[in-house]
């Protein structure tokens, strides 16, 4: 199971269980809470009615006196009350009055007159000066519907002359209990759903950071250049920065070792030539020979300088896993600048450079300076390998999502043995005209620039003659 799913399930399980138990407590507490509130109301009602019935009971007219008439009028009233969406039209109260012996002398429903209620808990306890209440089935054997009875003493001064009991079916409150429980469950469902969304968002947020670190670590372990993780103001961000720092230190050490070895190898030949020429110059030589050896030293010095400069430029782009500067670069303008840069060299070699770029060619997004250097290297190779009087063609073509820049020369092409090595560092082929070799760092530089821009570069033989270098860049 993936880490993101584990985090989400753990978060949802904790919040879901907590919400479930809280809702269960609330739902279970609704019914007793409502019944306790109803009992409190019945206590007040019973005591007020007991005071009102005292005179009629004292004078023996409780069944036909003012109290009985008022109760009958109240039972006939149409209440027409809207209580939280529930319509209430009749009184649910049932009032019974017993004498001091517990015998029913008044029943608002006229059913139990003359019955001995002294054994019932409400009457029994009230006759003994205690609080009396009970909950009994509405009908014998009914285990679902119950009625709450709350009693209050009827007194004549200090003498107890009877007990008034107010009864109300618990089913009268059932709609309110069910509605409250339903509301709690609905809001609890929303709470669990919202918790799930929060958990999903938190898990996605964490996994995004952890996934970025994972992809970054895999790319680094595979030796692929990659941009550092995005800055974050948390522990994941700190870990990403620590990994990037560690990568830079480790790669920097290996990079320096590799370049020192490469540079040392490439410097051996020019230095040996300079040393040999310097030794010969110490001997008596004709003036012509001395000048030739002096020119040789200058040529080798220029070769060393060019190698070091290109090596530094290549090292700079290879050390970056991403572009440091981005801007929209007009392809036509870029090609015109590169052709102008190579014009002096092309004129000296009597080579013509032709540029073809459509007016509606899409721009590319990247570093204009690096692109100009990369195309300059391709043009320098094309001019250097072309014979006198040849034509180097530079063509830009727009595709669906990319711009392809092709540089075609009319030279001898690439030998079969060199096809796989032309992009190797320090590998170069002799120029046809002079036999001189370049530093072998131009094409590796172009390849790194293409990588930084998310593109690619290829070098293949032309259909008939020469070679074709293609630089493909994503359209901006």
Mean pLDDT per 10-residue run, the chain (476 residues)?
A: 62 67 62 78 92 92 91 85 75 90 92 91 93 86 83 91 91 71 73 73 74 72 66 71 68 52 57 72 79 75 67 60 73 87 84 84 81 86 88 87 89 82 78 71 81 86 86 83
* Bridge-based pairing state of the strands 352-356 and 81-83: unpaired
Q: What is the pLDDT of residue 221?
A: 67
Contacts of 164 (CB under 8 A, 6+ apart): 46, 49, 50, 53, 95, 96, 97, 151, 152, 153, 154
The verdict on residue 450 lying in a domain is: yes
Please, are residues 133 and 149 in contact by the beta-carbon 8 Å criterion?
A: yes
The CA distance from 371 to 14, in Å, is 55
The CA distance from 231 to 114, in Å, is 88
* Domain of 283, in residue numbers: 225-321
The verdict on residue 71 lying in a domain is: yes
pTM, whole model, 2 decimals? 0.44
Q: What is the pLDDT of residue 115?
A: 92
Q: What is the pLDDT of residue 100?
A: 92
CATH number at residue 138: 3.30.450.20
Q: What is the pLDDT of residue 209?
A: 73
The CA distance from 189 to 4, in Å, is 23
Bridge partners of 328, per DSSP, are 365
- Can you read off the two tokens belonging to residue 475? 């359209």
DSSP 227: P
25 and 131 together in one domain = yes
The verdict on residue 409 lying in a domain is: yes
Closest CA to 46 of 102, 98, 111: 98
- Can you read off the two tokens belonging to residue 344? 């002096």
The CA distance from 29 to 286, in Å, is 117
CATH number at residue 363: 3.30.565.10
Last residue within a domain, chosen from 321, 346, 376: 321
The CA distance from 312 to 29, in Å, is 78
Whose structure tokens read 């230190």?
249
How many independent structural domains does the chain possess? Answer: 3
What is the distance in angstroms between the CA of the first residue and the CA of the last residue of the chain? 40
The CA distance from 165 to 122, in Å, is 7
The CA distance from 224 to 227, in Å, is 10
240 and 361 together in one domain = no
Last residue within a domain, chosen from 299, 321, 343: 321
């Amino acid at each position: 199971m993936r880490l993101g799913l584990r985090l989400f399930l753990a978060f949802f399980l904790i919040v879901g269980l907590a919400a479930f138990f809280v809702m269960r407590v609330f739902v279970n507490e609704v019914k007793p809470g409502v019944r306790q509130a109803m009992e409190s109301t019945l206590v007040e009602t019973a005591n007020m009615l007991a005071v009102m019935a005292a005179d009629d009971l004292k004078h023996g007219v409780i069944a036909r006196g003012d109290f009985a008439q008022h109760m009958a009028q109240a039972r006939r009233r149409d209440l027409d009350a809207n209580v939280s969406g529930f319509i209430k039209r009749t009184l649910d109260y049932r009032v019974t009055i017993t004498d001091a012996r517990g015998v029913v002398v008044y029943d608002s429903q006229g059913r139990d007159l003359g019955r001995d209620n002294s054994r019932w808990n409400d009457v029994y306890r009230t006759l003994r000066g205690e609080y009396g209440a009970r909950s009994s089935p509405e009908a014998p054997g009914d285990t679902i519907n119950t009625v709450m009875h709350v009693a209050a003493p009827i007194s004549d001064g200090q003498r107890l002359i009877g007990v008034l009991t107010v009864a109300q079916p618990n089913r009268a409150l059932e709609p309110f209990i069910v509605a409250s429980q339903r509301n709690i469950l609905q809001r609890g469902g929303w709470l669990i759903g919202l918790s799930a969304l929060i958990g999903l968002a938190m898990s996605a947020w964490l996994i995004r950071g952890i996934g970025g670190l994972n992809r970054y670590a895999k790319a680094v372990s595979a030796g692929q250049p990659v941009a550092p993780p995005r800055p974050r103001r948390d522990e994941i961000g700190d870990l990403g920065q620590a990994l990037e720092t560690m990568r830079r230190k480790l790669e920097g050490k290996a990079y320096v070792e590799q370049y020192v070895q490469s540079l040392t190898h490439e410097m051996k030949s020019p230095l040996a030539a300079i040393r040999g020429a310097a030794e010969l110059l110490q001997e008596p030589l004709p003036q012509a020979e001395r000048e030739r050896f002096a020119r040789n030293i200058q040529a080798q010095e220029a070769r060393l300088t060019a190698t070091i400069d290109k090596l530094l430029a290549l090292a700079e782009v290879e050390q970056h896993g991403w572009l440091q500067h981005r801007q929209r670069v007009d392809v036509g303008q870029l090609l015109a600048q590169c052709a102008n840069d190579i014009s002096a060299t092309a004129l000296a070699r009597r080579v013509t450079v032709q540029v073809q770029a459509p007016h509606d060619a899409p721009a590319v997004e990247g570093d204009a300076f690096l692109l100009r250097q990369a195309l300059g290297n391709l043009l320098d190779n094309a001019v250097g390998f072309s014979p006198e009087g040849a034509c180097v063609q530079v063509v830009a073509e727009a595709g669906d999502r990319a711009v392809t820049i092709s540089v075609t020369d009319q030279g001898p092409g690439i030998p079969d043995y060199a096809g796989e090595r032309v992009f190797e560092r320090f590998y170069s082929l002799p120029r046809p005209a002079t036999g001189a070799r370049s530093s072998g760092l131009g094409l590796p530089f172009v390849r790194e620039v293409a990588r930084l821009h998310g593109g690619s570069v290829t070098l293949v033989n032309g259909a008939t003659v020469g070679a074709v270098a293609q630089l493909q860049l994503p359209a901006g």
